[in-house]
Amino acid sequence: MLGPLEVVHHGASCTPTAPKVRSVLALLVLRANHVVDTGSIIEELWGENPPRSAVTTAQTYIYHLRRLFLRDVGKRADELFLTRPPGYTLRLAPGQLDVEEFEELTRRGRRLLSEKRLAEAVLVLRRALDLWRGPALANVSPGPLLESSIAHLEEQRIQVTQLRIEADMQLGHHHDLIAELRSLVARYPLNEWFHGKLILALSRAGRRGESLQAYQALRHILDRELGLAPSPELQSLQRDVLALGAQA
């Protein structure tokens, strides 16, 4: 799920190629071990304008999934896809889904951070982030239900990235973070947290001129896109950088 939707069995891919079948599978996986009612499948695929044949078509997509898994997984496919009124359940065992591994590593990383075991926390959080192969469900055209789930996953990714960067900053890895932070502010231009860490990392690396340029770049972006000024915290950070320059 953490990238293009991919189903792998014994090293071989058995990912559906039909876009709507792939969307149904994504919805079932995100709600694994819970019943997904037929109405939710219809809402995901067609929104507020389903065709008259929506129920039959949804049943056909489930049939295609069962046939695909029967071909690639064998008789165990019958244990994976269950008909549970008013819909269907996809049964997954612990450890079969990358999202679960990501969340477990995140919990471990947070615990290590709370214990001030910074170097260990960085390693664990890096492992969590390395599970991502691109934007969540990158090969799925999301409807209203998947859109919210994808947004939640991407927000989790940002939060874990922030945790790992904060730990690296506390370890004094300012020089090593600059290139990554430049990439992050380019990817998330309205995320003030990433901008603030870039400004701080440049300053602590002794590159105060570039630090002030980074602040001005943020100010221009916020003014152009939102008509806003940087937050009071970032304005205070800019004053601190200026004060350091005056002292030097």
pTM: 0.92
Q: Give kind and range of the element (H or E) at residue 89.
A: strand 87-90
Q: Which domains does the chain have, with CATH numbers?
A: 8-90 (1.10.10.10), 174-248 (1.25.40.10)
Dihedrals phi, psi of 83, to nearest 5 degrees: -85, 115
Answer whether 29's CB lies under 8 Å from 90's CB: yes
Name which of 214, 197, 119 is nearest 158 in CA terms. 197
Q: What is the pLDDT along the chain (248 residues), one digit of tens a residue?
A: 999 999 988 888 889 999 999 999 999 999 999 999 999 999 999 999 999 999 999 999 999 998 888 887 766 667 788 889 999 999 998 989 999 999 999 999 999 999 999 999 999 999 999 999 999 999 999 999 999 999 999 999 999 999 999 999 999 999 999 999 999 999 999 999 999 999 999 999 999 999 999 999 999 999 999 999 999 999 999 999 998 866 65
Q: Are 192 and 234 in contact (CB under 8 A)?
A: yes
* Per-residue confidence (pLDDT) for residue 245, from 0 to 100: 63
Distance CA 159, CA 212 (A): 25
Predicted pLDDT at 77: 67
- What pLDDT score was predicted for residue 113? 97
Torsion of CA 181, 186, 189, 194, to 10 degrees: 0
Residue-level pLDDT at 74: 66
